Amino acid sequence: MKLSAKKINEVWLNNQIKIDDNIGTAPDFLKVFISDLDTKSNISKIIAHFSSLKLNELFFDNNDYDWCFDESAYRVTTEAAYQFRLLQLLLNLGEVSEADIGTIVAREAITPGASVMPRVMLVDDISFIVFPLGWISQMYLVATAIVATKLGDRILMHNIINGFCVNIISEEIVYNFFDENPDYTLSPAEFSLLYESVSKHLIATHKDLLGSQIRPTEEYLTPLAEAITYGCEAFTLAHELAHILVEDHKLKSDMADEIKADKLAFDLLVGSSKTDVMPDVGIGLDGKPIFCAHAFLLIAHASMLVYSKLGFEPSQISELNMRTKVLADRINSFSLPADSEINLKRFDLLVGNFLKALNVEAELLATTKVEMMEMGSSELSRLMASHFKKN
Ligand SMILES: [Zn+2]
């Protein structure tokens, strides 16, 4: 029987919370995050692009993707956009049939944690590639901070980087609390709201250090910021697809798997770059896969730099360095058109300046981290005492 949008939504709703407590939530809670009244019309606009893919009839005859054309398969616009790009990658695979990899669905999950990474979940023969909201917002913060660096807007950059750090510290406070108080049971939705409350409290109590406005405004959504987020998303999507292609749904992947997935992700992007559309930053089609890999490494480095400055997760840094080296070797084996290369050099220079500034800002914040964590913890205890009962 053919898959339907209804069936996919059912599988997702029935399994998301059981599989991973931090991923996904009930439809009611989704409304808190999605205020776009025009989401539906944006989704249909993206689906209109899907018809260009339908020209490849053989693919749709051999694989179960008719549900992709049903609006109700998507809850937010980004899900439709991710699915579109996923189909582009799959169409370029050619020889891989659904019998080998099954049906793949891209999903955005309402998980606020800064450290929650995209991943693959296999449920009822459907592979969900999951993009957590927390990860998306960190990526967006880095992209806009790069734009602020380019514009020389030190204050905005300071504020955005602090927002980035606040996300990480808030997450640590919430995780610590539940490690120490295992007798509370919370739904993922409650967990997410607590996380939001703690970060709001930290911002309100540290205005002098953090600035009052730590979210960038619309004007910073420049083509460059869009290209960075697009590039990072595109590479990540290809990376998760690569895991599905080579690992046969292993639950845990090791370093060798990550390196293998990075390499294959890059090849998948090279294969599909001719048919894709990307915000214009003067990179050109040939340079696109390379730019996507650069954007991915940029976001990963920025995150790891902040984590290490704030004293968290040092072990991941050396892993990332190893992945960077292998991926860089792979990228460098491709030659670029001259004009693209110039633009990428300029981009790398900008990234270098951004990382230097990020280093300084994160160091400043590291000096007050302990104080912030204490203040956040007491606020969280207060919230728990007044709103939640122990079992
Ligand atoms: Zn991976």
Tens-place pLDDT, residues 135-189: 888 888 889 888 888 888 888 888 888 888 888 888 889 888 888 888 877 776 6
In a domain, 92, yes or no: yes
* CA 171–ligand 1 middle distance (angstroms): 22
> Residues 210, 354: one domain?
yes
> Residues 73, 177: one domain?
no
User: Which residue in the block uniquely carries the two structure tokens 């339907």?
Assistant: 4
Closest CA to 31 of 189, 139, 141: 189
> Residues 105, 159: one domain?
no
Q: Report the sign of the C-alpha dihedral through residues 8, 12, 13, 18, in that order.
A: positive
Beta strands in the chain (DSSP E): 103-109, 119-123, 126-132
Q: Is the pLDDT of residue 21 over 50?
A: no
In a domain, 376, yes or no: no
In a domain, 146, yes or no: yes
| CA pair distance 93, 292, nearest whole angstrom | 19
> Residues 168, 231: one domain?
yes
- Could you report the per-residue pLDDT of 347-366, keeping only the tens digit for each? 888 889 999 988 888 888 88
In a domain, 391, yes or no: no
Contact between 218 and 156 (Cβ < 8 Å): no
> Residues 112, 147: one domain?
no
Q: Which two tokens stand for residue 38?
A: 């025009």
Q: What is the mean pLDDT of the chain?
A: 81
* CA 118–ligand 1 middle distance (angstroms): 8
Last residue of a domain, one of 132, 160, 181: 132
Last residue of a domain, one of 132, 148, 177: 132
Q: Phi first, then psi: give them for residue 123, nearest 5 degrees.
A: -135, 130
In a domain, 386, yes or no: no
* CA 202–ligand 1 middle distance (angstroms): 32
* CA 265–ligand 1 middle distance (angstroms): 10
> Residues 303, 157: one domain?
yes
pLDDT given at position 378: 93
pLDDT given at position 375: 92
Q: Is the pLDDT of residue 303 over 80?
A: yes
pLDDT given at position 109: 82
Q: Is the pLDDT of residue 70 over 90?
A: yes
366 versus 248: which is more confidently predicted?
366
Q: What is the CA radius of gyration of the chain?
A: 21
- Could you report the per-residue pLDDT of 82-122, keeping only the tens digit for each? 999 999 888 887 665 555 678 999 998 877 677 778 989 88
Last residue of a domain, one of 99, 132, 165: 132
pTM: 0.87
| CA pair distance 168, 306, nearest whole angstrom | 9
How many structural domains is the chain composed of? 2
CA dihedral 240, 244, 248, 252 (to 10 degrees): 10
In a domain, 380, yes or no: no
> Residues 124, 170: one domain?
no
Q: Is residue 55 very low, low, confident or very high in pLDDT (cuts 50, 70, 90)?
A: confident
Q: Is the pLDDT of residue 268 over 60?
A: yes
Q: Which two tokens stand for residue 360?
A: 């300084």
pLDDT given at position 19: 52
- Could you report the per-residue pLDDT of 196-214, keeping only the tens digit for each? 889 889 888 888 777 766 6
pLDDT given at position 304: 86
- With b meaning 16 or more CB within 10 Å and e meaning fewer, what string describes 201-218? bbbeebeebbbeebebee
| Least confident piece of the model among 75-84, 125-134, 217-226 | 217-226
| CA pair distance 186, 183, nearest whole angstrom | 10
* CA 239–ligand 1 middle distance (angstroms): 6
Contact between 280 and 223 (Cβ < 8 Å): yes
Average pLDDT over residues 4-28: 70
| CA pair distance 194, 84, nearest whole angstrom | 34
Report the amino acid identity of residue 216: P
Q: Is the pLDDT of residue 58 over 50?
A: yes
> Residues 197, 128: one domain?
no
> Residues 112, 155: one domain?
no
What protein residues have CB closer than 5 angstroms to ion ligand 1? 258, 261
Q: Is 170 exposed, middle or buried (0-12, 13-18, 19+ CB in 10 A)?
A: buried
> Residues 31, 44: one domain?
yes
* CA 339–ligand 1 middle distance (angstroms): 32
pLDDT given at position 206: 84
Q: Is the pLDDT of residue 68 over 80?
A: yes
pLDDT given at position 342: 55
* CA 319–ligand 1 middle distance (angstroms): 12
* CA 312–ligand 1 middle distance (angstroms): 20
In a domain, 381, yes or no: no
**Residue 151: alpha-carbon gap to chain centroid:** 25
CA atoms within 13 A on the CB side of 48: 6
Contact between 231 and 296 (Cβ < 8 Å): yes
Q: Is the pLDDT of residue 2 over 70?
A: yes
* CA 257–ligand 1 middle distance (angstroms): 7
Q: Is the pLDDT of residue 233 over 90?
A: yes
Contact between 39 and 77 (Cβ < 8 Å): yes
Q: Is residue 335 very low, low, confident or very high in pLDDT (cuts 50, 70, 90)?
A: low
Q: Phi first, then psi: give them for residue 67, nearest 5 degrees.
A: -60, -25
Closest CA to 138 of 258, 289, 365, 307: 307
* CA 236–ligand 1 middle distance (angstroms): 8
* CA 359–ligand 1 middle distance (angstroms): 26
In a domain, 385, yes or no: no
> Residues 218, 305: one domain?
yes
Closest CA to 372 of 214, 204, 138, 180: 204
Name the residue range of residue 299's domain: 137-369
* CA 240–ligand 1 middle distance (angstroms): 6
Percent of the chain with pLDDT over 70: 81
> Residues 45, 162: one domain?
no
* CA 84–ligand 1 middle distance (angstroms): 21
